[in-house]
């Protein structure tokens, strides 16, 4: 064959080495055996997970089982790339769907851990993904230090000139369940509408520990919904 291709032996060897490097670079043998062993749908599940992460496996399973005639709304409780591509039907785009699919359902409450933005302020960004599925009527503050009994919480936002502007100031006592609860009827504080800086002061001074958690009520309460299918924390519900 080498003579048929008019190739020098040394060059043939070089080509083989280069091809070997190329195969090694892409993990060819491993990839090839995977492609041979498992079909495309199972490789998709391996890549994206069945229920967890993007949960493409669960979405495809639902599409096959329920044969949707329209595109159900997919609500993913963790921030991932869009997932609707996996079951999207361009022919039924104008039809209203009776179904919603909940993925990575966290439970009745949604916990948002807040980082300390600078020395004194915790930052809750308006683009925080979890806020989209949260009810903002009642907000619970959780801090590790159990000895703190009273908190003064100041809320700030930025004006057009990026200068901090105080929105509200609340004094709260610790409730029985070790939480500090505030009422935010009609979302007066504007969570999810603007970036909010939170300054917390306790009887010990300004709170600077990086362990603040905000607990919101989930908009989707399972006991009020009709569940058609469930696997772990993935659900198909009827509107």
Partner 1 sequence: MIEIFDITLLFIIFSLFLFSPLNLNVKNIYIVLFLAIFLLVNYFKDSKKIKVRENLLIFLIFFSIFFIFSIDIANELNLGWDAKWFYLIESLYYSQGNTFKELTEQMFRDFHPHPHLGSYLWAFFSNLSINNHEYYGRLFYLFLFIFGLFLITKKIIQNKNYEPIILIILTIVTYKYKYFSGLQEIIIFTNLIFISIVIYDYIVEKKFSDLLIISLCLNLILWTKAEGIVYFLIVISCINLIKKINFSHRIKFNILCLSLIVFKFLVYQFFEIKPNNQPYSLNFIENLDFDILFYQIYNITIYFVYNSINNIIYFVVLIVFFMSRDKIFKEEYYKFIFIFFLLNVCFIYSAYILRDQEIVYSLKTTIDRVVFTSSGFYLFFIGIYLKKLSFNFIK
DSSP 14: H
Binding span for partner 1 by CB under 8 A among 88-96, 132-140, 168-176, 221-229:
88-96
CB of 14 to partner 1, least distance (A): 5
Of the candidate residues 53, 63, 66, 88, the single one contacting partner 1 (CB under 8 A): 88
Residue 83 contacts partner 1 per CB under 8 A: yes
Cross-strand pairs, 210: none
Binding mask 16-35 for partner 1 (x = CB under 8 A): --xx-xxx-xxxx--xx-xx
Contacts for 81-85: CB closer than 8 Å, 24+ residues apart: 81/54, 83/54, 83/55, 83/56, 83/59
Q: Establish if 85 lies at the interface with partner 1 (CB under 8 A).
A: yes
Q: Choose, by CB under 8 A, the member of 79, 82, 188, 210 that binds partner 1.
A: 82
Consecutive H or E run containing 79: none
C-alpha–C-alpha distance, residues 193 and 184, integer Å: 14
Question: Quick one: CA torsion of 114, 128, 61, 233, rounded to 10 degrees?
Answer: 30
> For residues 48-77, which are near partner 1 according to CB under 8 A?
48
Is residue 95 within the footprint of partner 1 (CB under 8 A)? Answer: no
Task: Quote the least distance from Cβ 30 to partner 1, whole Å.
Answer: 8
Q: How far is the CB of 12 from partner 1 (least distance, A)?
A: 9
Q: Considering beta carbons, is residue 3 or 147 the nearer one to partner 1?
A: 3
In the complex, what is the shortest distance from the CB of residue 107 to partner 1, in angstroms, rounded to a whole number? 27
Place of tokens 């439970």: 107
Q: How far is the CB of 71 from partner 1 (least distance, A)?
A: 11
Residue 119: count other Cβ atoms within 10 Å of its Cβ.
7
Contact set for partner 1, span 100-159 (CB under 8 A): none
Q: State the minimum distance, in angstroms, from the CB of residue 94 to partner 1.
A: 8
Query: Which of 3, 6, 96, 163: binder of partner 1 (CB under 8 A)?
Result: 6
| Burial degree of 103 (CB within 10 A; 0-12, 13-18, 19+) | buried
Which is it for strands 109-113 and 213-218: parallel, antiparallel or unpaired? antiparallel
Number of residues that bind partner 1 (CB under 8 A): 37
User: What Å distances lie between residue 212 and 140, 144, 180, CA to CA?
Assistant: 10, 8, 11
CA distances from 97 to 10, 14, 69, 93, 203 (A): 65, 60, 8, 10, 52
Binding residues vs partner 1 (CB under 8 A) = 4-8, 11, 14-15, 18-19, 21-23, 25-28, 31-32, 34-35, 40, 43-44, 47-48, 81-85, 88-91, 93-94
């Amino acid at each position: 064959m080498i003579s048929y291709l008019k190739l020098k032996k040394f060059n043939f060897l070089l080509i083989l080495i280069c091809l070997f490097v190329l195969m090694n670079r892409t993990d060819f043998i491993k990839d090839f055996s995977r492609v041979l062993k498992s079909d495309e749908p199972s490789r998709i599940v391996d890549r994206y997970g069945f229920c967890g992460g993007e949960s493409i496996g669960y979405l495809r399973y639902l599409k096959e089982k329920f044969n949707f005639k329209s595109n159900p709304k997919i609500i993913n409780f963790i921030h991932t790339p869009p997932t609707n591509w996996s079951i999207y039907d361009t022919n039924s785009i104008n039809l209203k769907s009776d179904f919603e699919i909940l993925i990575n359902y966290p439970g009745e409450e949604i916990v948002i851990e807040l980082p300390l933005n600078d020395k004194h302020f915790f930052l809750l960004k308006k683009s925080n993904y979890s806020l989209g599925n949260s009810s903002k009527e009642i907000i619970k503050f959780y801090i590790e230090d159990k000895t703190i009994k009273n908190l003064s919480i100041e809320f700030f936002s930025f004006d057009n000139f990026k200068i901090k502007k105080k929105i509200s100031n609340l004094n709260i006592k610790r409730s029985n369940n070790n939480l500090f609860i505030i009422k935010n009827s009609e979302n007066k504080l504007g969570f999810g509408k603007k970036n909010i800086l939170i300054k917390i002061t306790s009887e010990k001074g300004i709170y600077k520990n990086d362990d603040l958690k905000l607990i919101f009520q989930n908009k989707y309460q399972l006991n009020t919904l009709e569940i058609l299918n469930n696997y772990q924390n993935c659900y198909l519900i009827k509107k």
